[in-house]
Structure 1
Amino acid sequence: MPLVNAGLVVLDCAEPEKLAEFYKELLQAEETDASANRVEIRGADGFRMAFRRDGNATPPSWPRPENAFQAHVDFVADDLDGVERKVVALGGRPLDTKDAAGPYEERGYADPAGHSFTVRRHTSSAPKQG
């Protein structure tokens, strides 16, 4: 039995309800708990996130060095173009969309509150051939 079990990713933000809605739509998640200062969601795959109200929250500034990253979440998807359209439609914005096509392609985005996240192409878990 582990000493510590995995919990969930918590992002501080000024408006947790709005940020939770962004991630609920992106991840096709459901709200599991909410209070005046915190909203929790769980995706269909069991991934859990929470959004905590912080009136002094400042968005990360990645890729600039001041206030960089703070937190970083990686998601995996097969259709990166489809994910990008969804992120933008929900109010997110691209941060790093370099042309890095191939099995390890990844793209960086910011959610509406400025938190950065990466979407990586889903890679096969099959052993390398040759």
Structure 2
Amino acid sequence: MTTETSAPKIGWDCVALDCADAAGVAQFYADLLGGTVDADPDGDWFNVLWDGPRIATQVAPDQTSPDWPRGQQQAHLDFVVTDIAAAHERVLALGGTALDPVDPPEPGPERGFRVYADPAGHPFCLCRPTKDAWG
């Protein structure tokens, strides 16, 4: 006789990024995504609140940036954008870095994504929408 147990319900909370300057990285994503930053009272955890899934940053004084593409990437975020050229310029203006490719976007390239790093070195991608990206 087998006994069935119900699995606990597990839901989405956030993506948490470790970084030495957690406040600065949170502000980078808030500015990029049109959101706001909500800091915890201890000042070591910051929530980026916007129209998408919550992104959090936490203070990790000894955090070492991933060395993409030479080392392990660990994890990355993908954002769908309607105007990749304008988003590219916004990333750079906010202190992000273009990783692959580094040149400004051209109309109609073969590849539909570009890789960047936030100010703490976490990689993320800006992706052109596919026909199913917006619902």
- Does residue 64 (structure 1) correspond to residue 107 (structure 2)? The answer is no
1:82 is matched with: 86
Of residues 20, 23, 26, the one that matches 1:17 is: 23
Aligned counterparts of 1:90 and 1:117: Cα–Cα separation in 2: 14
User: Offset of 1:30 from its aligned partner?
Assistant: 1.6
**Secondary structure of the residue that 2:52 maps to in structure 1?**
coil
Query: What letter corresponds to residue 101 of structure 1 in structure 2?
Result: P
> How far apart in 1 are the matches of 2:8 and 2:123?
30
Q: Structure 1 39/121 Cα, relative in aligned 2: closer, same or farther at 3 Å?
A: same
Q: Helix, strand or coil: the match of 1:47?
A: coil
CA contact (8 A) 2:65 2:121 kept: yes
In the TM superposition, structure 1's runs of 4+ consecutive aligned residues that sit over 4 Å from their partners are none
Higher fraction of strand: 1
- The CA deviation at 1:47 is 2.0
Structure 1 stretches of 5 or more lacking a match? none
Q: Distance in 2 between matches of 1:34 and 1:86?
A: 27
What does residue 53 of structure 1 align with? 59
Higher-Rg member (1/2): 2
Equivalent position to 1:37, from 33, 39, 44? 44
Inter-partner Cα distance in structure 2 for 1:90 and 1:7:
26
Partner of 2:34: 28
Per the TM alignment, residue 10 of structure 1 is displaced from its structure 2 partner at its CA by: 0.4
Task: Tell me by how many angstroms 1:124 deviates.
Answer: 1.3
Q: What is the deviation of 1:41? A: 1.3
SS where residue 10 of structure 2 aligns?
A: coil
Q: What is the CA–CA distance in structure 1 between the aligned matches of 2:122 and 2:98, rounded to whole Å?
A: 11
1:27 maps to a residue whose letter is L
Distance 1:19 1:125 in 2: 30
User: 1:101 maps to what in 2?
Assistant: 109
Count of aligned positions: 122
Percent identical pairs in the alignment equals: 38
Unaligned runs of 5+ in 2: 1-6
Q: Secondary structure at the match of 2:90?
A: helix
Give the secondary structure class of the aligned counterpart of 1:20.
helix
TM-score by length of 1: 0.85
